[in-house]
Chain A
């Protein structure tokens, strides 16, 4: 069964460093999303991506964040200058239609020291 693959599974970084989280979506998915979940808190929407551009972003997704689909397959989330409060699990998700029927990757745990 196809799955969404995320790397790295865990990254530890120093505050102020740049981090790139990578996702390989399921091949027939058209809509892509990044969510995050701070430990013990709810899953929060960050950004949605369709047709090679951002379709919607939350207030969390400020200028420190960016997304790209550089080669038509991988989908990346970049945090330019990490803060302590960026420590969370980041989930990539995708779907074939623009509904809430999403397949999530296993997540990338980011720890900012």
Chain B
């Protein structure tokens, strides 16, 4: 299974701030990258995917991919208390390999 490493956290940010989450992956041949959000006791929920180098924005979320550095990141702008969750980075070669997740707490 592909190795996916995430910064361990937990990450605490004040409401309205930017939360920055990082992820590295071991397989240089990986093509597809995903960010899932998992609330405590719940199932993972897809929030972003990115296939090409560069940035991809969706609302308050921006995913960044650098295949040369084998690095994926997620920025959450204007963080809200409802963003408090564990964020899972995942890569796929026809199955998802997840990182351990970074827990984010947004302080009101």
Contact = CB atoms under 8 A, between A and B. Distances in A.
B32 interface: yes
Contacts of A35: 96
Contact of B34 (A56, A100, A103, A107): A100
B1 interface: yes
> 10 shortest A-B CB distances, which residue pairs?
A100-B92, A104-B43, A43-B98, A100-B34, A42-B100, A100-B96, A45-B95, A107-B43, A104-B44, A42-B98
B100 A102 contact: no
A16 B37 CA distance: 34
Give the size range of B's interface with the partner: 20 to 34
14 contacts: A42-B99, A42-B101, A43-B88, A43-B96, A44-B98, A45-B96, A45-B97, A56-B95, A99-B49, A100-B32, A100-B49, A103-B46, A104-B45, A107-B42
Contacts, number: 54
Contacts of B72: none
A75 interface: no
B90 interface: yes
A102 B43 contact: no
A41 B86 CA distance: 12
Contacts of A91: 43-44
A91 B44 CA distance: 9
| Listed residue (A43, A55, A91, A102) with the most chain B CB atoms within 10 angstroms of its CB | A43
